[in-house]
Structure 1
């Protein structure tokens, strides 16, 4: 509607200066086909109620709005037609939003599974390293170090907390 309003204002301004000014000339000036100018200009014939609503909601295309404008019916019939087309567009948008939401959920779920697998693998590596360390200590290959055992236990706790929070989500 904003484009239509701007084209209408510009056309009227040019027409004041030159009575022979045409939509074709306006199209050349704006770099638009004459048919596009006619489409936007046709929107000016819509009832004010439709124009106002269309300014606040851009669900319907120019082509759809043009077909409503060029409909031979009464103002009430045009409003009815606009409402029907708008309702269809809203349903399409709602369905598209549901599909997008589902895709986001599925992407998040697969990402969550991947993180869980990575964390579980990390936990397994820590356990293997811990077993290796304890084996080396028990075979007197190295001396026991309490700071390692404390760090290992702390890391295990943090991994378990993270796994639990991911499972809850």
Structure 2
């Protein structure tokens, strides 16, 4: 008798679903978690300087001289400007697949220094590739297996993703597309 009630409920539910025309749930980028906290540009720029000081085994110094010497920029104000541009570029997820968005967000969480723009496409591309290598190593995997397991992306997908992100983080000029095309030919 108990089984008859279950069958009846299932049949009734199926009838309701077919009558109302419910369709399968479609997942898209709107299903991704939204970033909840964004540091100010100045705080992010300070963190970049702190990170660079640690990397270079130098004492933290928030000065134009330090920024000029270790970050190849003229001043802390320029770093803040480029950081603002970088934050805008890293926040722009338009045209990205769900897998690319997830990978991009993980990269941003791990690598604060990627949040500023540069005028050197090849340098930014290498920085992104090195960051991806480091993420794969943290999982004790090679890049190819890491991409497939955690992001369901092929190596070719990821190479295209890195090129696209490097272009976004390279200061916009006529040279950028020429640099990108030149490095692809090599």
Q: By percentage of residues, which structure has more helix?
A: 1
TM-score of the two chains, using structure 2 as the length reference? 0.24
Higher relative contact order (CA 8 A, sep 6+): 2
Which has the greater radius of gyration? Answer: 1
TM-score of the two chains, using structure 1 as the length reference? 0.26
